[in-house]
Chain A
Amino acid sequence: MEKGQPIIALQNISKTYTSERGEFNALNNVSLEIYKGEIYGVIGMSGAGKSTLVRCINYLEKPTSGKIIFDGKDLGALSAKELRNTRQSMSMIFQQFNLLMQRTAEQNVCFPLEIAGVKKIEAKQRAKELLELVGLGDKLDAYPSQLSGGQKQRIAIARALATNPKVLLCDEATSALDPSTTQSILALLKEINEKLGITIVIITHEMKVVEQVCSHVAIIADSKIAEVGTVKEVFTHPQSKVGQQLVYPNGMPDESFMGKRCCRIVFDGSSAYDPALSSMILECQVPVNIMYADMKRVEDMAMGQMVIQLPEDDTLAEKVIQNLRAKNLIVEEVYDYVG
Protein backbone atom coordinates (compact mmCIF):
# COMPACT_ATOMS: atom_id res chain seq x y z
CA MET A 1 0.00 0.00 0.00
CA GLU A 2 1.33 3.43 -0.93
CA LYS A 3 1.39 5.65 2.11
CA GLY A 4 2.53 8.86 0.46
CA GLN A 5 4.15 11.60 2.51
CA PRO A 6 4.18 11.26 6.27
CA ILE A 7 2.18 13.97 8.05
CA ILE A 8 4.87 14.20 10.71
CA ALA A 9 8.49 13.30 10.14
CA LEU A 10 11.24 13.59 12.71
CA GLN A 11 14.59 13.57 10.98
CA ASN A 12 17.61 12.91 13.17
CA ILE A 13 16.25 14.92 16.08
CA SER A 14 18.60 15.54 18.98
CA LYS A 15 17.89 17.68 21.98
CA THR A 16 20.53 18.66 24.51
CA TYR A 17 19.57 20.57 27.64
CA THR A 18 22.32 22.73 29.01
CA SER A 19 22.16 23.66 32.65
CA GLU A 20 24.64 24.70 35.35
CA ARG A 21 25.27 21.05 36.08
CA GLY A 22 26.33 20.34 32.53
CA GLU A 23 24.70 18.97 29.43
CA PHE A 24 21.99 16.39 29.17
CA ASN A 25 21.06 14.56 26.02
CA ALA A 26 17.29 14.13 26.23
CA LEU A 27 16.94 12.95 22.62
CA ASN A 28 19.63 11.34 20.60
CA ASN A 29 19.27 11.18 16.84
CA VAL A 30 15.62 10.23 16.78
CA SER A 31 13.87 9.63 13.46
CA LEU A 32 10.20 8.74 13.10
CA GLU A 33 7.55 8.89 10.43
CA ILE A 34 3.90 9.22 11.27
CA TYR A 35 1.30 8.89 8.55
CA LYS A 36 -2.13 10.40 8.21
CA GLY A 37 -4.86 8.60 10.10
CA GLU A 38 -2.55 6.64 12.36
CA ILE A 39 -2.80 6.52 16.10
CA TYR A 40 0.84 6.49 16.92
CA GLY A 41 1.96 5.51 20.39
CA VAL A 42 5.25 6.59 21.87
CA ILE A 43 6.02 4.57 24.94
CA GLY A 44 8.91 4.58 27.35
CA MET A 45 9.87 4.70 30.99
CA SER A 46 9.91 7.91 32.98
CA GLY A 47 12.70 10.21 31.87
CA ALA A 48 13.17 8.44 28.55
CA GLY A 49 12.52 11.65 26.66
CA LYS A 50 8.88 11.22 25.62
CA SER A 51 7.71 14.68 26.61
CA THR A 52 10.76 16.22 25.02
CA LEU A 53 9.96 14.34 21.83
CA VAL A 54 6.34 15.47 21.65
CA ARG A 55 7.30 19.04 22.54
CA CYS A 56 9.77 19.00 19.67
CA ILE A 57 7.01 17.95 17.28
CA ASN A 58 5.19 21.25 17.76
CA TYR A 59 8.39 23.17 18.39
CA LEU A 60 7.51 24.11 21.96
CA GLU A 61 11.03 22.82 22.36
CA LYS A 62 13.46 23.67 19.61
CA PRO A 63 15.54 20.62 18.68
CA THR A 64 19.28 21.09 19.04
CA SER A 65 19.70 19.43 15.67
CA GLY A 66 17.57 17.66 13.10
CA LYS A 67 14.35 18.59 11.36
CA ILE A 68 10.65 18.32 12.05
CA ILE A 69 8.61 18.15 8.88
CA PHE A 70 4.92 18.69 9.51
CA ASP A 71 2.55 18.44 6.57
CA GLY A 72 5.43 19.10 4.19
CA LYS A 73 6.73 22.13 6.12
CA ASP A 74 10.09 22.29 7.86
CA LEU A 75 9.11 23.85 11.19
CA GLY A 76 12.63 25.10 11.81
CA ALA A 77 12.48 27.21 8.67
CA LEU A 78 9.28 29.04 9.62
CA SER A 79 9.08 32.55 11.03
CA ALA A 80 7.60 32.98 14.52
CA LYS A 81 4.28 34.00 13.01
CA GLU A 82 4.18 31.14 10.50
CA LEU A 83 5.00 28.73 13.30
CA ARG A 84 2.10 30.08 15.37
CA ASN A 85 -0.24 29.61 12.42
CA THR A 86 1.03 26.10 11.85
CA ARG A 87 0.47 25.21 15.50
CA GLN A 88 -3.23 25.83 14.99
CA SER A 89 -3.37 22.66 12.91
CA MET A 90 -1.48 20.65 15.51
CA SER A 91 -3.26 20.64 18.85
CA MET A 92 -2.02 19.24 22.11
CA ILE A 93 -3.59 17.83 25.26
CA PHE A 94 -1.82 17.35 28.55
CA GLN A 95 -1.73 15.19 31.65
CA GLN A 96 -2.76 18.12 33.83
CA PHE A 97 -5.42 19.33 31.35
CA ASN A 98 -4.10 22.92 31.49
CA LEU A 99 -7.49 24.55 31.20
CA LEU A 100 -8.09 28.21 31.90
CA MET A 101 -9.56 28.12 35.40
CA GLN A 102 -11.27 31.50 35.14
CA ARG A 103 -13.17 30.53 32.02
CA THR A 104 -16.21 28.31 31.62
CA ALA A 105 -16.09 25.14 29.54
CA GLU A 106 -17.53 27.01 26.57
CA GLN A 107 -15.11 29.91 26.94
CA ASN A 108 -12.22 27.46 27.17
CA VAL A 109 -13.18 25.91 23.85
CA CYS A 110 -13.58 29.39 22.36
CA PHE A 111 -10.06 30.31 23.43
CA PRO A 112 -8.10 28.84 20.49
CA LEU A 113 -10.72 30.29 18.16
CA GLU A 114 -10.20 33.76 19.64
CA ILE A 115 -6.51 33.31 19.03
CA ALA A 116 -7.18 32.28 15.46
CA GLY A 117 -9.37 35.37 15.03
CA VAL A 118 -12.67 33.56 14.52
CA LYS A 119 -15.82 35.64 15.03
CA LYS A 120 -17.36 35.34 18.47
CA ILE A 121 -20.75 34.00 17.35
CA GLU A 122 -19.15 31.36 15.14
CA ALA A 123 -16.76 30.42 17.93
CA LYS A 124 -19.61 29.94 20.40
CA GLN A 125 -21.50 27.80 17.93
CA ARG A 126 -18.45 25.64 17.32
CA ALA A 127 -17.73 25.35 21.05
CA LYS A 128 -21.24 24.11 21.63
CA GLU A 129 -20.96 21.46 18.90
CA LEU A 130 -17.62 20.26 20.18
CA LEU A 131 -18.73 20.06 23.78
CA GLU A 132 -21.65 17.99 22.59
CA LEU A 133 -19.28 15.76 20.64
CA VAL A 134 -17.25 15.05 23.78
CA GLY A 135 -20.40 14.44 25.80
CA LEU A 136 -20.47 17.67 27.78
CA GLY A 137 -23.32 19.43 26.03
CA ASP A 138 -24.88 20.19 29.41
CA LYS A 139 -21.76 21.72 30.95
CA LEU A 140 -21.26 24.79 28.79
CA ASP A 141 -21.30 27.19 31.72
CA ALA A 142 -19.42 25.08 34.22
CA TYR A 143 -16.01 26.18 35.41
CA PRO A 144 -13.22 23.57 35.33
CA SER A 145 -13.07 23.54 39.13
CA GLN A 146 -16.62 22.20 39.17
CA LEU A 147 -15.76 19.23 36.95
CA SER A 148 -14.07 15.86 37.38
CA GLY A 149 -10.71 14.95 35.87
CA GLY A 150 -12.31 13.01 33.02
CA GLN A 151 -14.65 15.89 32.25
CA LYS A 152 -11.75 18.34 32.30
CA GLN A 153 -9.87 16.18 29.82
CA ARG A 154 -12.97 16.12 27.60
CA ILE A 155 -13.03 19.91 27.61
CA ALA A 156 -9.34 19.90 26.76
CA ILE A 157 -10.06 17.55 23.85
CA ALA A 158 -12.92 19.74 22.64
CA ARG A 159 -10.64 22.74 22.91
CA ALA A 160 -7.92 20.93 20.98
CA LEU A 161 -10.35 20.10 18.18
CA ALA A 162 -11.69 23.65 17.86
CA THR A 163 -9.32 24.78 15.13
CA ASN A 164 -9.84 21.64 13.02
CA PRO A 165 -6.33 20.32 13.54
CA LYS A 166 -4.73 17.64 11.41
CA VAL A 167 -2.86 16.19 14.33
CA LEU A 168 -3.64 15.76 18.00
CA LEU A 169 -0.66 15.35 20.32
CA CYS A 170 -1.41 13.74 23.68
CA ASP A 171 1.23 13.86 26.40
CA GLU A 172 0.20 11.36 29.09
CA ALA A 173 -3.39 12.46 28.59
CA THR A 174 -4.81 9.65 30.69
CA SER A 175 -2.11 9.36 33.35
CA ALA A 176 -4.01 11.47 35.88
CA LEU A 177 -7.23 9.52 35.41
CA ASP A 178 -8.60 6.37 37.00
CA PRO A 179 -8.82 3.18 34.89
CA SER A 180 -12.44 3.47 33.81
CA THR A 181 -12.12 7.16 32.95
CA THR A 182 -8.96 6.28 31.04
CA GLN A 183 -10.98 3.76 29.04
CA SER A 184 -13.61 6.32 28.13
CA ILE A 185 -11.07 8.97 27.12
CA LEU A 186 -9.21 6.45 24.96
CA ALA A 187 -12.48 5.43 23.35
CA LEU A 188 -13.20 9.08 22.63
CA LEU A 189 -9.78 9.54 21.05
CA LYS A 190 -10.36 6.50 18.87
CA GLU A 191 -13.74 7.84 17.84
CA ILE A 192 -12.20 11.19 16.92
CA ASN A 193 -9.54 9.43 14.89
CA GLU A 194 -12.13 7.38 13.00
CA LYS A 195 -14.81 10.04 12.56
CA LEU A 196 -12.68 13.07 11.88
CA GLY A 197 -9.63 11.37 10.41
CA ILE A 198 -7.31 13.18 12.79
CA THR A 199 -3.87 11.68 13.24
CA ILE A 200 -3.15 11.14 16.91
CA VAL A 201 0.17 10.84 18.68
CA ILE A 202 -0.13 9.29 22.12
CA ILE A 203 2.68 9.59 24.62
CA THR A 204 2.38 7.15 27.45
CA HIS A 205 4.27 4.93 29.84
CA GLU A 206 1.49 2.33 29.89
CA MET A 207 1.50 -0.59 27.47
CA LYS A 208 -2.23 -0.96 28.05
CA VAL A 209 -2.91 2.42 26.46
CA VAL A 210 -0.90 1.48 23.38
CA GLU A 211 -2.57 -1.90 23.08
CA GLN A 212 -5.99 -0.43 23.36
CA VAL A 213 -5.93 2.33 20.77
CA CYS A 214 -2.69 2.60 18.87
CA SER A 215 -2.05 1.29 15.40
CA HIS A 216 1.69 1.95 15.55
CA VAL A 217 4.17 2.29 18.34
CA ALA A 218 7.67 3.58 18.92
CA ILE A 219 9.51 2.49 22.02
CA ILE A 220 11.85 5.07 23.39
CA ALA A 221 14.55 4.35 25.91
CA ASP A 222 17.60 6.30 27.02
CA SER A 223 16.84 9.16 24.63
CA LYS A 224 16.81 6.84 21.61
CA ILE A 225 14.23 4.93 19.64
CA ALA A 226 14.60 1.30 20.63
CA GLU A 227 11.98 -0.17 18.34
CA VAL A 228 9.20 0.89 15.98
CA GLY A 229 6.47 -1.00 14.23
CA THR A 230 2.80 -1.76 14.16
CA VAL A 231 1.39 -2.54 17.56
CA LYS A 232 0.74 -6.08 16.41
CA GLU A 233 4.35 -6.63 15.34
CA VAL A 234 5.86 -5.14 18.43
CA PHE A 235 3.40 -6.85 20.68
CA THR A 236 3.93 -10.29 19.22
CA HIS A 237 7.67 -10.06 18.53
CA PRO A 238 9.29 -7.46 20.71
CA GLN A 239 12.84 -7.19 19.42
CA SER A 240 14.46 -4.83 21.85
CA LYS A 241 15.14 -5.44 25.47
CA VAL A 242 12.88 -2.56 26.55
CA GLY A 243 10.23 -3.84 24.20
CA GLN A 244 10.30 -7.21 25.88
CA GLN A 245 10.19 -5.59 29.29
CA LEU A 246 7.14 -3.61 28.29
CA VAL A 247 5.32 -6.56 26.76
CA TYR A 248 6.14 -8.79 29.73
CA PRO A 249 5.98 -6.36 32.62
CA ASN A 250 6.23 -9.11 35.20
CA GLY A 251 9.75 -9.97 34.16
CA MET A 252 8.62 -12.89 32.07
CA PRO A 253 11.63 -15.21 32.00
CA ASP A 254 11.64 -17.38 35.02
CA GLU A 255 15.08 -18.51 36.14
CA SER A 256 13.82 -22.09 36.56
CA PHE A 257 13.38 -22.80 32.89
CA MET A 258 16.43 -20.97 31.65
CA GLY A 259 18.55 -23.20 29.50
CA LYS A 260 15.80 -25.78 29.04
CA ARG A 261 13.92 -25.94 25.78
CA CYS A 262 10.85 -23.79 25.73
CA CYS A 263 8.75 -22.38 22.99
CA ARG A 264 6.62 -19.35 22.70
CA ILE A 265 3.24 -19.64 21.03
CA VAL A 266 1.64 -16.55 19.66
CA PHE A 267 -2.10 -16.48 19.17
CA ASP A 268 -3.29 -13.88 16.74
CA GLY A 269 -6.95 -13.17 16.59
CA SER A 270 -8.42 -16.21 14.90
CA SER A 271 -7.00 -18.90 17.06
CA ALA A 272 -6.85 -17.32 20.44
CA TYR A 273 -9.77 -19.15 21.87
CA ASP A 274 -9.47 -22.39 19.93
CA PRO A 275 -8.49 -25.26 22.12
CA ALA A 276 -5.21 -25.56 20.20
CA LEU A 277 -3.15 -26.53 23.17
CA SER A 278 -5.40 -29.24 24.49
CA SER A 279 -5.83 -30.82 21.06
CA MET A 280 -2.03 -30.79 20.61
CA ILE A 281 -1.60 -32.57 23.94
CA LEU A 282 -4.16 -35.17 22.92
CA GLU A 283 -2.66 -35.65 19.49
CA CYS A 284 0.99 -35.83 20.56
CA GLN A 285 0.36 -37.61 23.82
CA VAL A 286 2.96 -35.56 25.66
CA PRO A 287 2.69 -33.47 28.77
CA VAL A 288 3.76 -29.84 28.54
CA ASN A 289 4.34 -27.29 31.21
CA ILE A 290 2.80 -23.83 30.83
CA MET A 291 5.39 -21.35 31.99
CA TYR A 292 3.69 -18.13 31.09
CA ALA A 293 0.41 -17.11 29.55
CA ASP A 294 -0.99 -13.75 28.77
CA MET A 295 -4.07 -13.07 26.74
CA LYS A 296 -5.20 -9.61 25.86
CA ARG A 297 -7.39 -7.76 23.44
CA VAL A 298 -5.46 -5.73 20.93
CA GLU A 299 -7.41 -3.62 18.52
CA ASP A 300 -10.52 -5.70 19.04
CA MET A 301 -8.73 -8.94 18.30
CA ALA A 302 -7.98 -11.51 20.85
CA MET A 303 -4.24 -11.73 21.09
CA GLY A 304 -2.10 -13.68 23.38
CA GLN A 305 0.99 -15.58 23.98
CA MET A 306 2.07 -18.47 25.99
CA VAL A 307 5.38 -20.07 26.80
CA ILE A 308 5.43 -23.82 27.25
CA GLN A 309 8.23 -26.05 28.40
CA LEU A 310 8.97 -28.76 25.85
CA PRO A 311 9.57 -32.40 26.64
CA GLU A 312 13.20 -33.42 27.26
CA ASP A 313 13.14 -35.78 24.30
CA ASP A 314 14.10 -33.90 21.13
CA THR A 315 11.87 -35.86 18.74
CA LEU A 316 8.88 -35.32 21.00
CA ALA A 317 9.70 -31.64 21.30
CA GLU A 318 9.94 -31.37 17.53
CA LYS A 319 6.58 -33.11 17.22
CA VAL A 320 4.95 -30.60 19.53
CA ILE A 321 6.33 -27.69 17.53
CA GLN A 322 5.23 -29.18 14.21
CA ASN A 323 1.79 -29.89 15.58
CA LEU A 324 1.32 -26.32 16.77
CA ARG A 325 2.65 -24.86 13.52
CA ALA A 326 0.19 -27.01 11.65
CA LYS A 327 -2.53 -25.22 13.60
CA ASN A 328 -1.37 -21.94 12.05
CA LEU A 329 0.13 -20.63 15.23
CA ILE A 330 3.34 -18.70 15.37
CA VAL A 331 5.75 -20.84 17.30
CA GLU A 332 9.29 -19.99 18.11
CA GLU A 333 11.82 -21.63 20.30
CA VAL A 334 13.07 -19.72 23.25
CA TYR A 335 16.43 -20.53 24.77
CA ASP A 336 17.63 -18.14 27.40
CA TYR A 337 15.00 -15.53 27.54
CA VAL A 338 15.93 -11.97 28.39
CA GLY A 339 15.75 -10.59 31.88
Chain B
Amino acid sequence: MWDSTMFEMLGKGIGETLYMTLFSTLLAYVIGLPLGIALVVTEKESLLPNKWVNSILNIIVNITRSVPFLILLVFIQPLTRAIVGTAIGSTATIVPLVVAAAPFIGRMVESSIKELDKGVIEAALSMGASPLQIIWKVMLPETKPSLWVGAAISSTTILGYSAMAGFTSGGGLGDIAIRYGYNRYQTDVMFVTVVLLVVIVQVLQGIGMKIASKQDKRK
Protein backbone atom coordinates (compact mmCIF):
# COMPACT_ATOMS: atom_id res chain seq x y z
CA MET B 1 0.00 0.00 0.00
CA TRP B 2 3.03 2.34 0.38
CA ASP B 3 3.16 2.74 -3.36
CA SER B 4 3.77 5.74 -5.52
CA THR B 5 0.13 6.87 -5.40
CA MET B 6 0.38 7.01 -1.62
CA PHE B 7 3.48 9.18 -1.82
CA GLU B 8 1.83 11.33 -4.43
CA MET B 9 -1.15 11.73 -2.17
CA LEU B 10 1.01 12.70 0.79
CA GLY B 11 2.95 15.12 -1.40
CA LYS B 12 -0.30 16.72 -2.52
CA GLY B 13 -1.41 16.81 1.12
CA ILE B 14 1.73 18.69 2.13
CA GLY B 15 1.23 21.13 -0.73
CA GLU B 16 -2.40 21.74 0.19
CA THR B 17 -1.58 22.17 3.86
CA LEU B 18 1.11 24.71 3.09
CA TYR B 19 -1.17 26.50 0.64
CA MET B 20 -4.01 26.73 3.15
CA THR B 21 -1.76 27.73 6.01
CA LEU B 22 0.29 30.38 4.29
CA PHE B 23 -2.52 31.88 2.28
CA SER B 24 -4.87 31.97 5.28
CA THR B 25 -2.16 33.50 7.46
CA LEU B 26 -1.58 36.19 4.90
CA LEU B 27 -5.27 37.00 4.47
CA ALA B 28 -5.88 36.81 8.21
CA TYR B 29 -3.11 39.38 8.73
CA VAL B 30 -4.75 41.69 6.21
CA ILE B 31 -7.66 41.81 8.64
CA GLY B 32 -5.90 41.03 11.92
CA LEU B 33 -3.12 43.61 11.74
CA PRO B 34 -5.40 46.66 11.35
CA LEU B 35 -7.75 45.07 13.88
CA GLY B 36 -4.96 44.74 16.43
CA ILE B 37 -3.81 48.30 15.82
CA ALA B 38 -7.39 49.53 16.16
CA LEU B 39 -7.79 47.65 19.44
CA VAL B 40 -4.76 49.48 20.83
CA VAL B 41 -5.25 53.00 19.55
CA THR B 42 -8.95 53.28 20.36
CA GLU B 43 -8.29 52.46 23.98
CA LYS B 44 -8.80 55.13 26.58
CA GLU B 45 -5.80 57.52 26.79
CA SER B 46 -4.28 56.11 23.62
CA LEU B 47 -3.82 57.90 20.28
CA LEU B 48 -7.40 57.86 19.05
CA PRO B 49 -9.55 56.98 22.04
CA ASN B 50 -13.02 55.82 21.07
CA LYS B 51 -15.00 53.93 23.67
CA TRP B 52 -17.64 52.68 21.26
CA VAL B 53 -15.36 51.40 18.53
CA ASN B 54 -13.13 49.80 21.14
CA SER B 55 -15.99 47.97 22.90
CA ILE B 56 -17.52 46.75 19.65
CA LEU B 57 -14.20 45.43 18.34
CA ASN B 58 -13.53 43.71 21.64
CA ILE B 59 -16.95 42.06 21.65
CA ILE B 60 -16.57 40.81 18.06
CA VAL B 61 -13.12 39.44 18.80
CA ASN B 62 -14.24 37.73 21.98
CA ILE B 63 -17.25 36.11 20.36
CA THR B 64 -15.30 34.77 17.37
CA ARG B 65 -12.52 33.58 19.64
CA SER B 66 -14.88 31.65 21.88
CA VAL B 67 -16.47 29.55 19.11
CA PRO B 68 -14.54 26.25 18.70
CA PHE B 69 -13.01 26.01 15.24
CA LEU B 70 -14.83 22.82 14.29
CA ILE B 71 -18.19 24.44 14.99
CA LEU B 72 -17.22 27.63 13.19
CA LEU B 73 -16.15 25.54 10.21
CA VAL B 74 -19.63 24.02 9.87
CA PHE B 75 -21.49 27.13 10.94
CA ILE B 76 -20.08 29.37 8.22
CA GLN B 77 -20.39 26.83 5.40
CA PRO B 78 -23.09 28.95 3.70
CA LEU B 79 -20.68 31.89 3.67
CA THR B 80 -17.92 29.67 2.34
CA ARG B 81 -20.16 28.44 -0.46
CA ALA B 82 -21.16 31.97 -1.30
CA ILE B 83 -17.54 33.07 -1.60
CA VAL B 84 -15.77 30.02 -3.05
CA GLY B 85 -18.69 28.17 -4.62
CA THR B 86 -18.09 24.99 -2.64
CA ALA B 87 -17.56 24.05 1.00
CA ILE B 88 -15.02 21.29 0.47
CA GLY B 89 -11.39 21.31 -0.62
CA SER B 90 -8.50 23.40 0.47
CA THR B 91 -9.56 26.71 -1.12
CA ALA B 92 -12.90 26.49 0.66
CA THR B 93 -11.12 25.85 3.96
CA ILE B 94 -9.33 29.17 3.68
CA VAL B 95 -12.57 31.01 4.45
CA PRO B 96 -13.18 29.55 7.94
CA LEU B 97 -9.45 29.66 8.62
CA VAL B 98 -9.33 33.39 7.96
CA VAL B 99 -12.49 34.03 9.96
CA ALA B 100 -11.08 32.11 12.93
CA ALA B 101 -7.54 33.42 12.70
CA ALA B 102 -8.13 37.14 12.11
CA PRO B 103 -9.39 37.88 15.65
CA PHE B 104 -6.68 35.66 17.08
CA ILE B 105 -4.06 37.61 15.14
CA GLY B 106 -5.75 40.83 16.21
CA ARG B 107 -5.10 39.87 19.82
CA MET B 108 -1.50 38.85 19.07
CA VAL B 109 -0.83 42.18 17.35
CA GLU B 110 -2.54 44.05 20.17
CA SER B 111 -0.36 42.43 22.81
CA SER B 112 2.81 43.01 20.78
CA ILE B 113 2.10 46.71 20.37
CA LYS B 114 1.17 47.05 24.02
CA GLU B 115 4.65 45.88 24.98
CA LEU B 116 5.98 49.15 23.57
CA ASP B 117 7.18 51.64 26.17
CA LYS B 118 4.72 54.51 26.45
CA GLY B 119 7.61 56.96 26.73
CA VAL B 120 8.60 56.32 23.12
CA ILE B 121 5.13 57.23 21.93
CA GLU B 122 5.19 60.29 24.13
CA ALA B 123 8.52 61.32 22.62
CA ALA B 124 7.04 61.01 19.14
CA LEU B 125 4.02 63.05 20.18
CA SER B 126 6.30 65.73 21.59
CA MET B 127 7.95 65.99 18.16
CA GLY B 128 4.59 66.65 16.56
CA ALA B 129 3.98 63.20 15.06
CA SER B 130 0.42 62.47 13.93
CA PRO B 131 -1.38 59.30 15.07
CA LEU B 132 -0.85 57.71 11.64
CA GLN B 133 2.86 58.55 11.72
CA ILE B 134 3.12 57.04 15.18
CA ILE B 135 1.47 53.81 14.01
CA TRP B 136 3.67 53.49 10.92
CA LYS B 137 6.94 54.87 12.18
CA VAL B 138 6.88 53.92 15.84
CA MET B 139 4.41 51.22 16.84
CA LEU B 140 4.95 48.76 14.00
CA PRO B 141 8.71 49.11 13.42
CA GLU B 142 9.52 49.17 17.12
CA THR B 143 7.54 45.99 17.81
CA LYS B 144 8.66 44.13 14.69
CA PRO B 145 10.46 41.32 16.55
CA SER B 146 7.44 40.63 18.71
CA LEU B 147 5.13 40.83 15.68
CA TRP B 148 7.23 38.16 13.95
CA VAL B 149 7.05 35.90 16.98
CA GLY B 150 3.30 36.42 16.81
CA ALA B 151 3.31 35.49 13.13
CA ALA B 152 5.13 32.25 13.91
CA ILE B 153 2.60 31.36 16.58
CA SER B 154 -0.34 32.37 14.41
CA SER B 155 0.76 30.39 11.37
CA THR B 156 1.29 27.24 13.40
CA THR B 157 -2.10 27.67 15.04
CA ILE B 158 -3.66 28.09 11.61
CA LEU B 159 -1.88 24.94 10.50
CA GLY B 160 -3.48 23.10 13.41
CA TYR B 161 -6.90 24.44 12.47
CA SER B 162 -6.37 23.46 8.83
CA ALA B 163 -5.79 19.87 9.90
CA MET B 164 -9.14 19.90 11.72
CA ALA B 165 -10.80 20.81 8.45
CA GLY B 166 -10.18 17.18 7.47
CA PHE B 167 -13.49 16.39 9.17
CA THR B 168 -15.34 18.32 6.47
CA SER B 169 -13.09 17.14 3.63
CA GLY B 170 -11.11 20.30 3.75
CA GLY B 171 -8.05 18.91 1.95
CA GLY B 172 -4.46 18.77 3.13
CA LEU B 173 -2.73 16.40 5.53
CA GLY B 174 -5.51 16.54 8.09
CA ASP B 175 -7.97 15.30 5.49
CA ILE B 176 -5.69 12.35 4.70
CA ALA B 177 -5.23 11.54 8.37
CA ILE B 178 -8.97 11.44 8.92
CA ARG B 179 -9.81 9.51 5.76
CA TYR B 180 -7.21 6.82 6.36
CA GLY B 181 -6.57 6.81 10.03
CA TYR B 182 -10.02 7.61 11.41
CA ASN B 183 -12.39 6.22 8.79
CA ARG B 184 -10.32 3.19 7.66
CA TYR B 185 -8.20 2.48 10.76
CA GLN B 186 -4.94 2.73 8.79
CA THR B 187 -2.98 4.05 11.72
CA ASP B 188 0.35 3.98 9.87
CA VAL B 189 -0.90 6.57 7.37
CA MET B 190 -2.23 8.66 10.19
CA PHE B 191 1.09 8.37 11.98
CA VAL B 192 3.01 9.57 8.91
CA THR B 193 0.72 12.57 8.40
CA VAL B 194 1.06 13.51 12.06
CA VAL B 195 4.86 13.36 11.76
CA LEU B 196 4.68 15.53 8.64
CA LEU B 197 2.47 18.06 10.46
CA VAL B 198 4.92 18.17 13.35
CA VAL B 199 7.80 18.80 10.96
CA ILE B 200 5.94 21.63 9.18
CA VAL B 201 5.09 23.26 12.53
CA GLN B 202 8.74 23.08 13.55
CA VAL B 203 9.85 24.65 10.30
CA LEU B 204 7.31 27.49 10.41
CA GLN B 205 8.06 28.22 14.05
CA GLY B 206 11.80 28.11 13.35
CA ILE B 207 11.57 30.53 10.40
CA GLY B 208 9.42 32.95 12.39
CA MET B 209 11.75 32.99 15.37
CA LYS B 210 14.79 33.36 13.17
CA ILE B 211 13.34 36.44 11.46
CA ALA B 212 12.28 37.84 14.82
CA SER B 213 15.73 37.56 16.34
CA LYS B 214 17.37 38.99 13.23
CA GLN B 215 15.07 42.01 13.44
CA ASP B 216 15.74 42.62 17.09
CA LYS B 217 18.19 45.46 17.65
CA ARG B 218 17.55 45.67 21.36
CA LYS B 219 20.32 43.31 22.35
Contacts and interface: CB of A to CB of B under 8 A. Distances in A.
Best-surrounded residue of A103, A114, A115, A163 (most CB of chain B within 10 A): A115
A60 B126 contact: yes
A323 to B, nearest CB: 55
Contact of B142 (A83, A96, A102): A102
Contacts of A85: 128
A92 B123 contact: yes
A238 B142 CA distance: 46
B136 to A, nearest CB: 10
Interface string A17-59: 0000000000000000000000000000000000000000010
A6 to B, nearest CB: 21
Q: How large is the interface on B (under 10, 10 to 19, 20 to 34, 35 or more residues)?
A: 20 to 34
B57 to A, nearest CB: 23
B138 interface: yes
B130 A96 contact: no
Interface in B104-152: 117, 119-120, 122-130, 133, 137-138, 141-142, 144
Contact of A115 (B119, B129, B141, B215): B129
A269 B117 CA distance: 46
B51 interface: no
Contacts of A84: 128-130
Contact of A60 (B122, B137, B219): B122
Interface string A155-175: 000000001000001000000
Contacts of B215: 102
Interface string A88-103: 1011101010111111
Contacts of B137: 111, 114-115
A256 B216 CA distance: 62
B217 interface: yes
Interface residues of A, number: 29
B218 interface: yes
Contacts of B117: 96, 98
Nearest to B142: A102
Contact of B120 (A83, A88, A100): A100
Contacts of A98: 117, 119-120, 122-123
Contacts, number: 72
Interface SS of A by simple majority: mixed
Looking at chain B's contact residues, is the secondary structure mostly helix, strand, loop, or mixed?
Answer: helix
Contacts of A66: none
B126 A58 contact: yes
A145 interface: yes
Nearest to A90: B126
A86 to B, nearest CB: 7
B127 A112 contact: yes
A248 interface: no
A163 B128 CA distance: 11
Nearest to B118: A98
A102 B217 contact: yes
Given A98-B122, A98-B123, A145-B218, A86 B128 contact: yes
A116 B219 CA distance: 30
A86 B216 CA distance: 34
B126 A91 contact: yes
User: Which 8 A-B pairs rank lowest in CB-CB distance, beginning with the nearest?
Assistant: A87-B128, A98-B123, A84-B128, A92-B126, A98-B119, A112-B127, A143-B217, A88-B128
Interface of B: 117, 119-120, 122-130, 133, 137-138, 141-142, 144, 215-219
Interface of A: 58, 60, 81, 83-88, 90-92, 94, 96, 98-103, 111-112, 114-116, 143, 145, 163, 169
23 contacts: A60-B125, A84-B128, A85-B128, A87-B128, A90-B126, A94-B119, A94-B122, A96-B119, A98-B119, A98-B123, A99-B123, A100-B120, A100-B138, A101-B120, A101-B142, A101-B217, A102-B141, A102-B142, A102-B217, A103-B217, A112-B128, A115-B127, A163-B127
